């Protein structure tokens, strides 16, 4: 384990260098998930990736695509979709879309992750607002810590909840029987998890798929989200090898944890298949999956490899451009 100080510095340190190969866990994990579940993970990862595309978060009435530059979402593009509401909302400028998918009979809510260096510095504020605030997200299940949640993620979810609830209700009215599914990568995954919680708390059965999602809080919110499945929808929190973001903010600094199961992609490089996904059944915190997987190159390797792993979920998940097509593109890094 790294020193407290090193971790604290790295928490605010961003680097985008390509990774060197990291260690392999070999055959330590073997349990695979069914192919149908794997296909769903793959499909939803592309919806999460599509939330980075400028066109999809500025595209009411249009079909989802990843034409905004750099992105690829073929599974989304072959489906019959309609963006009913795209949004950028609140002081946090939380971005995403609500879309109907007639092919897969879903109403999809997807949130954009962090876009560095573009015109949305509010994302950074959201990410580093790592104080915790007591909330009413957990209903009466707030026995341990008052349902404390990461302040930035809490604010983003609150900013988005009205527009999302309205759009989901309107879509359901014309698409009866469709499944409501919320997804996102990175920061978008954290906002997705809290949004699914709010929809479920309002009585809406909601499936949740997150990729490289950071910690939300400690025991109460983790236990509460865990307890909502399966009755109020499924929880599918996917992590990849030593992705650093699901380890943030660090467990050692404030007892941050997760809801489980964790669907852990246990290979660093190469094509990710159903056989590579380990189901980790923890409780608030365990090192069995991503949390205990570290780079063999020490703390610096951890950041470099860890950010590289963060971008790889069934393909490059965060490549679509958040900038308006046709405008001069500056350096853009989505994490
Ligand atoms: C897409 O959704 C909007 C808003 O609900 C609706 O007005 C429009 O007719 C839909 N387009 C298609 C092609 O279904």
Looking at ligand 1, which residue's alpha carbon is closest to its atom 8? Answer: 61
Residue 67: per-residue pLDDT: 85
**Residue at token pair 């030593």:** 242
Domain ranges of the chain: 25-324
Classify domain 25-324 by CATH number: 3.40.50.1820
User: Distance between CA atoms of 180 and 177, rounded to whole angstroms?
Assistant: 9
Say how far residue 22 (Cα) sits from the centre of its chain: 23
Reported as a pLDDT band with limits 50, 70 and 90, residue 149 is very high
Structure tokens given for 225: 């989200």
Residue-level pLDDT at 66: 93
Instruction: Kindly state if the Cβ of 84 falls inside 6 Å of ligand 1.
Output: yes
Average pLDDT in the 125-135 region?
A: 84
On whether the CB atoms of residues 35 and 80 are closer than 8 A, the answer is: no
86 lines ligand 1 (CB under 6 A): no
Task: State residue 205's pLDDT score.
Answer: 98
Confidence of residue 7 (pLDDT cuts 50, 70, 90): very low
Question: Is 215:255 a contact under the CB 8 Å cutoff?
Answer: no
Name the one residue in this structure whose structure tokens are 């997705």. 192
Output the CA 189–ligand 1 centroid distance in Å. 26
CB 63 less than 6 A from any atom of ligand 1: no
User: What predicted TM-score, i.e. pTM, was given to this entire model?
Assistant: 0.89
Alpha-carbon distance 285 to 283, whole Å?
Answer: 6
Q: With a 6 A CB cut-off, is 82 part of the ligand 1 pocket? A: yes
* 173 ligand 1 Cβ < 6 A: no
Q: Which residue lies with its CA nearest to atom 14 of ligand 1?
A: 82
Query: Considering the chain, what percentage of its residues have pLDDT values greater than 90?
Result: 68
How many Cα atoms occupy the beta-carbon half-sphere of 233 within 13 Å? 27
CA distance linking residue 139 with residue 153, whole number of Å: 18
């Amino acid at each position: 384990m790294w020193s407290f100080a090193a971790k604290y510095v790295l928490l605010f340190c961003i680097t985008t260098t390509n990774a060197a190969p990291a260690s392999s866990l070999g055959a330590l994990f073997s349990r695979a998930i069914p192919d149908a579940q794997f296909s769903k993970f793959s499909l939803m990862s592309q919806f999460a990736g599509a939330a980075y595309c400028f066109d999809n978060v500025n595209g009411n009435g249009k079909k989802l695509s990843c034409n905004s530059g750099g992105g690829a979402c073929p599974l989304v593009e072959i489906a019959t979709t309609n963006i009913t509401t795209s949004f950028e909302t609140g002081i946090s400028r939380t971005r995403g879309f609500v879309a109907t998918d007639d092919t897969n009979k879903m109403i999809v809510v997807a949130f954009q992750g962090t876009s560095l260096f573009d015109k949305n510095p509010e994302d950074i504020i959201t990410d580093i607002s790592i104080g915790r605030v007591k909330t009413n997200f957990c209903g009466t299940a707030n026995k341990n810590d008052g349902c404390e949640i990461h302040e930035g993620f809490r604010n983003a979810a609150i900013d988005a909840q009205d527009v999302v609830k309205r759009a989901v209700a309107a879509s359901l009215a014309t698409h009866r029987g469709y499944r409501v599914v919320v997804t996102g990568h990175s920061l978008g995954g954290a906002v997705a998890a809290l949004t699914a919680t709010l929809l479920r708390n309002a009585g809406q059965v909601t499936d949740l798929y997150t990729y490289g999602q950071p910690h939300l809080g400690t025991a109460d919110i983790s236990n509460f989200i865990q307890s909502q499945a399966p009755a109020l929808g499924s929880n599918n929190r996917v992590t990849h090898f030593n992705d650093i973001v699901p380890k943030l903010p660090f467990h050692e600094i404030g007892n941050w944890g997760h809801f489980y199961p964790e669907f852990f992609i246990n290979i660093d490089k190469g094509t990710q298949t159903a056989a590579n996904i380990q189901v980790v059944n923890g409780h608030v915190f365990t090192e069995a999956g991503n949390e205990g997987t570290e780079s063999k190159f020490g703390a610096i390797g951890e950041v470099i490899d860890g950010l590289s792993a963060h971008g790889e979920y069934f393909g490059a998940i965060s490549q679509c451009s958040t900038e308006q097509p046709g405008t001069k593109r500056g350096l853009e890094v989505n994490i």
